[in-house]
Amino acid sequence: MMKHTIFESVLIFTLFLSLIQFAFVPKSVGEVRKMFTIAHRGASGYAPENTIMAFDKAVDMKADYIEIDVQRSKDGKLVIIHDTKVNRTTNGEGYVKDLTYAELQNLDAGSWMGDEFDGAKIPSFEEVLDRYLGKIGILIEIKAPKLYPGIEEDMAKILKGYHLDKVKNEEIIIQSFHFESMKKMKRLLPYVPIGVLISKKENATVEAVKDFSSYADYYNPSYAILTEDLVRTAKAEGMKVLSWTVRSPETAEYLLGHNIDAIATDYPDYVMLEK
């Protein structure tokens, strides 16, 4: 009888220790908060923005997403460039919309940052999809949609051709500062995550966040106007929060102190080192 009592006591004590250990272990990896690193225009602190060089660098640095800016050439080709003019980041001049794809391809999009980047080209949207789908997530920003009537339909057609109208694991996200454009994208691609980019304080209110949640999956404010109230409201409304743009370790540290889901940065290693 005594042996049974000792055995039962040891068994109970062992089970007790196991329960304590289990209580301090997450039930699954999914319960650990994951903050994604978005390489803003690629790893643009290290290579010319919106070029294959910058995107390849982001992949090498193990960023979770590349962010790309999409506009349209004179002859209807979707291309990756930030400014509405080519002047700043190429050796050419003029508006993107006034140049054909061939003319854009003839420009040097790299040497402005250094001789070692001489010869970099402006990529097409399809080129980026072909090269990076399955390797890294792609955050797609539609730039200046008012200059490009119908660009939303053009993009939706291309994405459907890649079977990206029903994305898995948010392999692509579409965002813009232009809210009507994002409403249209949500109608065209209802299963693709949509983000609204926020830079003005008038759109950084609890009421505005609730309005955006009717069609947006991501609320993406500048770090300069990010507040805990905005984050809490966005999360309560079922949205994720992505903030931008980190260009210093101090800003990375500041944003990592908030309960947000993603950080856009020119320097992916700044965010990764602070995690």
Q: Mapping DSSP to helix (H, G, I), strand (E, B) and coil, where does residue 172 land?
A: strand
Name, in order, each residue with C-beta under 8 angstroms of 173's C-beta and a sequence gap of 6 or more: 65, 137, 138, 139, 140, 192, 193, 194, 195, 217, 218
Angle of CA points 261, 273, 63, to nearest 5° = 55
DSSP tag of 28: S
Catalytic residue (one of 82, 163, 178, 258):
82
Catalytic (active site) residue 4: no
Distance CA 235, CA 187 (A): 23
Catalytic (active site) residue 40: yes
State the Rg of the chain over Cα.
23
Q: Mapping DSSP to helix (H, G, I), strand (E, B) and coil, where does residue 86 land?
A: coil
Q: Mapping DSSP to helix (H, G, I), strand (E, B) and coil, where does residue 216 land?
A: coil
Catalytic residue (one of 40, 163, 178, 258):
40
Please list the active-site residues: 40, 82
